[in-house]
C-alpha cells in the first residue's frame, strides 16, 4: 500500500491513492463522514492490508494496458500510449480551450478539462443509441490528451492525478447511467480501470473529496474540479441510497460555499478581457468628427437665417405694396373754410360836426403759400427746394441730392434748410405730411430690403428734424412711396436724381 502526502500548510494532511492490482473483495460500507462545516473535520482514513479492506487508489505513475480493440480481451503490449495514438480526434478544441483558459486562468487543470465536460454534456443530452466503441475511444483519448497537456504545462503530478481521477470517474458514472451504456460492455472497460486499475471510483471520488475538504486551502483547485464534476452529473455511490440525492446536494452546497468564499461573487462582465484599448486622442484626424459636427451645426444655423430673412423680406415687400396702394390716391381733405372775422362791438362814433363816419374795414387774410414761398425764397434761389401750391395745400419739394447713397444721412446744407422750412411752417396751423420717394433702381440690404423701406426711413429722418422746429410735433407724419409717382424719367441719371426727393405738404386750416 502506498500513500501520497499532499504539500500543504497542514503537515498531517494525507491523501491515499489506489495501488496497482486487480479488484479485491469489497469491504462493508461505513456510514458517510460529514464534510467540514457538517460536524467537524474528517481525518484521512488509515488504510489496512487486512482482508476485506479496499486499498486506497494509488494515483502515482502505473503501468497501464488497454485492449487493442473494443471486442478483444487481450491487452496490447504497447500499453495505453499506443492505443491512444491509434484513435483519431475529429473535433478541434483549441478555440474552446483558449476561451476557457481565459476565464479559468488561475486553474489550468479545470481549463484543460473543458473538452471532457463538453463531451459529457452531449452524452447526457442524447436519448438515441450512440456508437459506444467510438465514444469510448474518444473519451479515452480525451483523458490521455488531458494528462499529456497538463504535464506539458508543468502542472504538479499530484494535481494531475487527482483531476484525472475525478474526470475518469465522472465519465464512467454518466455513461453507465444511460440505457445504452448499461447494455454495452462499458462496465468491463471503465476509464477508472484503464487509468488506475480499480473499479470503485463511485466511492473513492467522495473519499478523496472528503480528505481534501479537511484541508481545503491546500487543495482549492482540485476541489473546484471535483465540484464541477458533481455539477456536470456525477452521482457515484449516492445513486442507490434512499436519501442519496439530498446528501449529494448538501455536499455540493458545502463545496460551493467554500469556493464562493475563496473566489467571491462572479464578475458581471461576460469576459475578463472585454475592455478595448484606449485610443490616444489629440491628432487632427481624431478631432475631425468634432470639427465636422461644428461645421454642420453652423451650416444649419446659416440656412435657418437665410430662410427667415427671405420670409421677412417677402412680408416687408407685401406690406410696402399695400401701403403704396393706399397712398396712390390719397383722399384730399378739403381745407376748412377760414373762420369768420371776429365781431367787434360797435363803438359809438360821434361824427364831427358836418362829417360822416367812415365804414369799418376787415384786414385782408394772409395766403399761406405766398407767405411760405416768400420766407423760403433764398433756398429756392439756391435750387435746394421749390414751393408749390396744389389744391389748397402748400407743397415743398427738395431738389438735388438730399441724402448720401443708400442711407438716411443728410447732405450739407439740408439740415439748415429743413430748419428754415420748420420756421416757415410754424405760423400756419394744419397737418404736415412728409413723403419720401426713390428712383426705380432696386435696393436689397439688411437695413433696407426694398425701395419702400428706404423711402420711409428717409421721410422719418426729415420728419424728425422738422418736428424739432415746431411747437406741436404731433402735426408731422411720415410716409414712404418708394419708386411710385416719378416726376422725371428713370432712364437718365438726372431723371433718377430728381425722383429721389422728399415732399413736405402742409394742409392749412
pLDDT tens sequence across 412-430: 999 999 999 999 999 999 9
More confident residue, 59 or 287: 287
- Looking at the predicted structure, is the pLDDT value of residue 198 above 50? yes
Note whether residue 317 is domain-resident.
no
Range of the domain at 456: 368-506
Q: CA 482, CA 326: separation in Å to the nearest integer?
A: 13
Q: Cα Rg for the chain, rounded, in angstroms?
A: 59
% of the chain beyond a pLDDT of 90: 41
pLDDT at 300: 95
Angstrom CA distances, 238 to 172, 187, 247, stand at 15, 18, 8
Q: Is 309 a domain residue? A: no
Grid cell, residue 504, equals 413736405
Classify the C-alpha dihedral 347-350-352-356 as positive or negative.
positive
pLDDT reported for residue 393:
95
Q: Give the lowest-confidence range in 41-50, 176-185, 279-288.
A: 41-50
Tell me which DSSP letter residue 503 carries: E
Cell numbers 491512444 correspond to: 84
Q: Is 104 helix (H, G, I), strand (E, B) or coil?
A: coil
Do 257 and 372 lie in a common domain? no
Asked if residue 311 is part of any domain, the answer here is: no
Is the residue at 326 inside a domain?
no
- CB count within 10 Å of CB 87 equals 17
Q: How many domains does the chain have?
A: 2
pLDDT per position as a tens digit, 290-312: 778 889 899 999 999 999 988 98
- The mean predicted confidence, pLDDT, of the chain is 76
- Residue 456 inside a domain? The answer is yes
* Residues 379, 496 within the same domain: yes
The CATH number for 189's domain is 1.25.40.590
Q: At which of 245, 263, 281 does a domain end? A: 263
Q: Is the pLDDT of residue 340 over 70?
A: no
- Residue 255 shares a structural domain with residue 394: no
Measured distance CA(391)–CA(378) in Å, rounded? 25
Q: What is the enclosing helix (H) or strand (E) of 315?
A: helix 284-328
What is the band of 200 on the pLDDT scale with cuts at 50, 70, 90? confident
pLDDT tens digit sequence for 308-332: 988 988 888 788 777 766 665 554 5
Distance CA 503, CA 395 (A): 7
Where b means 16+ CB within 10 Å and e means fewer, 165-186 reads bbbbbbbbbbbeebebbeebeb
Assigned domain for 133 exists: yes
Which of 263, 297, 318 is a domain's end point? Answer: 263
Share of the chain above pLDDT 70, in %: 66
Q: Please give the residue that has the higher pLDDT: either 284 or 324.
A: 324
Strand order in 385-390's β-sheet?
A: 385-390, 393-398, 502-506, 432-436, 476-480
Q: What is the CATH number of the domain that holds 476?
A: 3.30.1330.60
41 shares its domain with 185: yes
Residue 102: pLDDT band by 50, 70, 90 thresholds?
low
Domain boundary pick from 202, 236, 263: 263
Whether 41 and 161 share a structural domain: yes
Residue 101 has pLDDT above 60, yes or no: no
Give me the torsion for CA of 53, 54, 55, 56, rounded to 10°: -120
**How much is the average pLDDT of 212-235?**
90
The band of 410, judged by pLDDT with boundaries at 50, 70 and 90, is very high
| Residue 386 covered by a domain | yes
* CA–CA gap between residue 120 and residue 232 (Å, rounded): 8
Question: Could you tell me if residue 190 is inside a domain?
Answer: yes
How confident is the model over 232-259, as a mean pLDDT? 88
Alpha carbon 279 to chain centroid, angstroms: 19
Give the range among 34-38, 127-131, 262-266, 338-342 with minimum mean pLDDT: 34-38
pLDDT digit string, tens, across residues 370-391: 999 999 999 999 999 999 999 9
Amino acid at each position: 500500500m502506498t500513500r501520497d502526502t499532499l504539500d500543504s500548510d497542514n503537515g498531517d494532511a494525507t491523501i491515499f491513492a489506489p495501488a496497482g492490482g486487480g479488484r479485491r473483495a469489497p469491504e462493508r460500507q461505513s456510514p458517510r463522514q460529514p464534510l467540514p462545516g457538517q460536524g467537524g473535520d474528517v481525518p484521512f482514513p488509515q488504510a489496512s492490508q487486512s482482508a476485506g479492506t479496499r486499498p486506497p487508489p494509488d494515483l502515482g505513475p502505473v503501468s497501464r494496458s488497454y485492449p487493442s480493440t473494443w471486442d478483444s480481451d487481450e491487452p496490447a503490449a504497447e500499453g495505453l500510449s499506443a492505443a491512444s495514438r491509434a484513435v483519431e480526434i475529429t473535433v478541434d478544441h483549441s478555440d474552446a480551450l483558449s476561451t476557457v483558459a481565459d476565464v479559468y486562468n488561475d486553474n489550468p487543470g479545470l481549463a484543460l478539462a473543458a473538452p471532457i465536460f463538453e463531451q459529457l454534456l452531449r452524452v447526457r443530452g442524447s436519448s438515441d443509441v450512440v456508437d459506444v466503441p467510438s465514444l469510448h475511444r474518444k473519451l479515452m483519448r480525451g483523458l490521455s490528451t488531458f494528462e499529456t497537456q497538463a504535464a506539458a504545462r508543468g502542472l504538479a503530478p499530484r494535481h494531475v492525478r487527482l483531476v484525472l481521477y475525478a474526470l475518469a470517474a465522472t465519465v464512467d458514472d454518466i455513461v453507465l447511467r444511460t440505457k445504452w451504456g448499461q447494455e454495452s460492455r462499458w462496465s468491463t472497460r471503465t476509464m477508472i480501470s484503464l487509468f488506475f486499475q480499480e473499479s470503485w471510483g463511485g466511492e473513492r471520488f467522495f473519499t478523496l473529496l472528503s480528505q481534501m475538504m479537511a484541508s481545503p486551502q491546500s487543495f482549492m483547485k482540485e476541489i473546484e474540479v471535483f465540484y464541477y464534476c458533481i455539477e456536470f452529473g456525477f452521482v457515484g455511490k449516492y445513486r442507490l441510497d434512499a436519501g442519496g440525492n439530498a446528501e449529494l446536494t448538501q455536499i455540493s452546497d458545502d463545496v460551493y460555499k467554500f469556493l464562493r468564499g475563496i473566489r467571491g461573487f462572479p464578475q458581471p462582465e461576460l469576459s475578463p478581457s472585454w475592455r478595448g484599448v484606449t485610443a490616444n486622442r489629440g491628432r487632427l484626424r481624431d478631432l475631425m468628427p468634432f470639427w465636422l459636427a461644428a461645421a454642420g451645426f453652423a451650416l444649419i444655423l446659416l440656412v435657418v437665417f437665410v430662410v427667415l430673412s427671405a420670409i421677412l423680406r417677402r412680408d416687408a415687400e407685401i406690406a410696402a405694396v399695400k401701403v403704396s396702394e393706399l397712398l396712390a390716391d390719397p383722399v384730399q381733405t378739403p381745407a376748412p373754410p377760414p373762420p369768420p372775422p371776429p365781431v367787434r362791438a360797435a363803438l359809438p362814433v360821434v361824427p364831427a360836426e358836418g362829417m360822416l363816419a367812415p365804414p369799418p374795414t376787415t384786414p385782408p387774410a394772409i395766403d399761406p403759400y405766398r407767405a411760405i414761398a416768400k420766407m423760403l425764397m433764398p433756398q429756392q434761389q439756391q435750387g435746394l427746394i421749390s414751393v408749390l401750391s396744389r389744391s389748397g395745400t402748400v407743397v415743398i419739394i427738395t431738389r438735388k441730392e438730399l441724402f448720401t447713397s443708400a442711407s438716411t444721412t443728410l447732405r450739407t446744407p439740408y439740415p439748415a434748410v429743413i430748419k428754415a422750412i420748420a420756421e416757415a411752417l410754424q405760423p400756419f396751423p394744419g397737418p404736415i405730411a412728409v413723403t419720401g420717394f426713390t428712383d426705380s433702381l432696386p435696393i436689397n440690404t439688411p437695413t433696407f430690403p426694398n425701395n419702400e423701406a428706404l423711402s420711409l426711413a428717409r421721410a422719418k429722418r426729415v420728419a424728425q428734424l422738422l418736428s424739432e422746429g415746431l411747437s406741436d410735433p404731433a402735426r408731422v407724419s411720415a410716409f414712404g412711396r418708394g419708386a411710385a409717382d416719378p416726376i422725371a424719367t428713370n432712364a437718365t441719371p438726372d431723371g433718377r436724381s430728381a425722383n429721389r426727393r422728399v415732399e413736405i405738404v402742409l394742409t392749412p386750416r
